[in-house]
Structure 1
Amino acid sequence: MTATVASHRKPRQHPLVSLTGGGSRSARTARTAATLALAGAATATTFDGTGQAVPEPTPAQVKGRVDALYQEAEVATQKYNGAKEAADTARQELSRLQDEAARRTRKLNAARGELGTMAASQYRSGGVDPTVRLLLSADPQRYLDGAAVLERAGSHQATAVAGYARRLGSVRQVRQRAEDTAERLVGTETALKKHRVTIVRKLDAAEQLLDRLTAEQRRRMAGRDNSRGGAAGDRADRGAGRGDGLLGGVPTGSGAAAAASAQAPNARAAQAVSFAYGALGKPYVWGATGPSAYDCSGLTQAAWKSGGVSLPRTTYTQVSSGPRIDRSQLAPGDLVFFYSGISHVGLYIGDGKMIHAPHPGAPVRIAPIDQMPFAAATRPA
């Protein structure tokens, strides 16, 4: 009787299982696990607040992050410029070495032909001299390593053999230098690609942040930056600063350029200042050296080149292009450098101001030198 009653009892169900409906034991188990997971997630959202929307950054926060991204992109730009300069140099050197190797190989072949003619003549007259036979073998270096063998050859033959030896050695040296240069070029081009990717990513990130601002917020940001000489919001005034007028509240006409040039310590510096004024309003493009666009070190290089002085390409090499100048002794034409890594440079024009190429979206412009962390100053010589 007891067994009969028990057989009609329904099995007890867990409350969570009953909520998921019927089905097989395995299906109920899976649904139970899913329900527990959802419940746990809901609890985590409720108590930890992780489900709340992330607040939009303020314009000031956007500006701070954009400025940081531009500075990081500038660091990568200078590394890119250095790698590009090294790659260009290596490419030119490789081409020169390849041409030199070809010329020397032709001379080597001519010398070998002369020895072949000599060997043929000796053969017709009764045999080939052992020295010539050894030299024309598959491994002539064995002969070249044994200079004493030359003493067994006649004077004319010794001269011909010695000439061949020199040419063979020089061809091998040039070819080895060419191989080393080619290997160096491959490594430099790899670094070039790496820095290019870094720059593009930084600038894309900055652009995405700026796109989160409204047009009015960007205008206000640009207005504040223009009053200080320019920073992250300069996209709004790309064409500002050409010809006579004001840029960031600073006179930019021919009179201002002449006044700044007159205070320069020498004619070369005066010409560099005049060139920089003429570049006002031109766009920033990373890696550019003019004449239609510049990056920061490209602008200073071009300005001083107009004065007859050749500067290296990057900020961290330009800083060594002349004697260091104390900040209190700055004169128009001096190069002023910023940040601990020497990643930005401008051309001083007097009155605590410089002309520089700030960053993408901002034209070449006048700015106070105290808007960035001052690092050093140099007077090119």
Structure 2
Amino acid sequence: MASYPVQRTVRAALAASAVFALVGGLSLPQAAADPVPPNASDALKKYNDLAMEAEKLNEEHLRAEDDLTKARTDLDQANRDLDTAQRAQTDLRGHVDLITEASFEGARFNQLSAILVSDSQQDFLNRMSALGVLAGENAEAMQGLSDAVGKADDAARRATDAAANADKAISDIDQRKSALDQQITEARNAYRALPKSERDALGADGYLGEVPLPPGQIGQAMKFALAQRGKDYVFGSNGPNTWDCSSLMQAAYRAAGIAIPRTTYGQATIGREVSLNDVQPGDLVIYYSGQTHVSMAIDGIRAVHASTEGVPVKIQDIESIGPISTIRRVVG
């Protein structure tokens, strides 16, 4: 993964200049602070750790579901290929059987029998030519049958492998779902144990004012994401009233007519990688070494994201959200 050294002074100045130019001198308020500041209580730090682990398990669960979908698609295709290959194999076996049957009935001649029954030299040449055609047809039929058998065997192997992969994906989903449910319960219990002042701080909506939007699809995606500010985070939610981090990004780009993967892992592979100093509105910022969280940049300093349960969709400083793994530009 790319390294992102902290060059806040230069980058912040450039971003502020860009924002100033976009809105004719009207700058945005500072983004909300990190929901878990350095001086947070032990209870709040514990909640944050539990919530981060729950989000990681949530994304792993979603990836297991993607693996299952792919395995089932592979299995369906392999079964279709197997059916096609088996039907071709049956047809070609019939053709070979007809040629073999014709041989026993005297339709096939060797060179000696052709000489014995020929009335003339020309008749002999005609019979030899026919023998060549029959031999060629037989060789072609046998090769076709061999190819069909090979394709059927390959399709059967792929079907077996795909079925095994599907079974494994189902097992992974069950295991990950169990771990996720347990982790979510622990995180929610930790949240309920927080003092009201800390719960209120986590639940603050942050800046809800206007944000300048670029033209085109990126602006449409940003408009959708920003319109979700204040809505709750729920692990595994796909909207429209609650979100998790990756579902919000997927829905935002879908609103702009662009399909992107559902998981943070998938979103970390699309488009092209850019550096933190080159970040532009609409870029997807993927966090943590495990690539388990994502936000959408709205300028060179801030991003909008669905953070975790107890924290609404909001704008925050890009780097305060977490350690950056990669930044992906979906368009351009």
TM-score (norm 2): 0.71
Q: 1:333 and 2:282 equivalent? A: yes
2:208 to 243, 247, 251: 251
1:157 to 138, 146, 150: 138
Q: 1:379 and 2:329 equivalent? A: yes
Mark the CA change 1:206 to 1:267 in structure 2 (over 3 Å): closer, same or farther.
Answer: same
3-state SS, counterpart of residue 280 of structure 1: coil
* CA-CA distance at 1:176 after TM superposition: 1.0
* CA-CA distance at 1:107 after TM superposition: 1.7
User: Larger C-alpha radius of gyration, 1 or 2?
Assistant: 1
* CA-CA distance at 1:71 after TM superposition: 0.3
Quick one: distance in 2 between partners of 1:339 and 1:207?
22
Deviations 1:44-91 (A, max 9, x none): xxxxxxxxxxxxxxx932221111111011111222222221221111
Quick one: distance in 2 between partners of 1:351 and 1:366?
13
2:243 to 254, 274, 294: 294
1:277 to 217, 226, 243: 226
1:96 maps to: 77
- Maintained 8 Å contact 2:224/2:252: yes
3-state SS, counterpart of residue 346 of structure 1: strand
Quick one: distance in 2 between partners of 1:96 and 1:305?
27
Quick one: distance in 2 between partners of 1:68 and 1:367?
19
1:77 to 58, 76, 87: 58
3-state SS, counterpart of residue 87 of structure 1: helix
Quick one: distance in 1 between partners of 2:80 and 2:299?
50
3-state SS, counterpart of residue 282 of structure 2: coil
Mark the CA change 1:126 to 1:349 in structure 2 (over 3 Å): closer, same or farther.
Answer: closer
1:367 to 298, 310, 316: 316
* CA-CA distance at 1:346 after TM superposition: 0.8
3-state SS, counterpart of residue 308 of structure 2: coil
Quick one: distance in 2 between partners of 1:207 and 1:291?
22
- Maintained 8 Å contact 1:260/1:332: no
- Maintained 8 Å contact 1:326/1:377: yes
Residue identity opposite 2:279 in structure 1: L
Structure with more relative contact order (C-alpha pairs < 8 Å, separation 6 or more): 2
RMSD: 2.9
Alignment of 1:215-234 (within 5 A): 217-218=195-196, 220-227=197-204
Alignment of 1:115-154 (within 5 A): 115-125=96-106, 154=135
3-state SS, counterpart of residue 336 of structure 1: strand
3-state SS, counterpart of residue 158 of structure 1: helix
* CA-CA distance at 1:267 after TM superposition: 1.9
1:313 to 249, 252, 262: 262
3-state SS, counterpart of residue 324 of structure 1: strand
Residue identity opposite 1:183 in structure 2: A
Quick one: distance in 1 between partners of 2:259 and 2:135?
55
- Identity rate, percent: 25
Mark the CA change 1:160 to 1:337 in structure 2 (over 3 Å): closer, same or farther.
Answer: closer
- Maintained 8 Å contact 1:104/1:167: yes
Moved more, 66-75 or 346-355: 346-355
Q: 1:347 and 2:283 equivalent? A: no
Quick one: distance in 2 between partners of 1:300 and 1:355?
10
- Maintained 8 Å contact 1:260/1:273: no
Quick one: distance in 1 between partners of 2:174 and 2:305?
26
Quick one: distance in 2 between partners of 1:86 and 1:260?
38
1:260 maps to: 212
3-state SS, counterpart of residue 260 of structure 1: coil
Deviations 1:110-160 (A, max 9, x none): 221222333334344499x9xxxxxxxxxxxxxxxxxxxxx9972222222
Moved more, 164-173 or 333-342: 333-342
Quick one: distance in 2 between partners of 1:335 and 1:341?
15
* CA-CA distance at 1:292 after TM superposition: 4.7
* CA-CA distance at 1:281 after TM superposition: 4.0
Alignment of 1:165-244 (within 5 A): 165-213=146-194, 217-218=195-196, 220-227=197-204
Mark the CA change 1:326 to 1:158 in structure 2 (over 3 Å): closer, same or farther.
Answer: closer
Segments of 5+ residues of structure 2 without an aligned counterpart are 1-39, 111-131
Quick one: distance in 2 between partners of 1:292 and 1:91?
30
How many residues were matched structurally?
270
- Maintained 8 Å contact 1:78/1:343: yes
Residue identity opposite 1:165 in structure 2: S
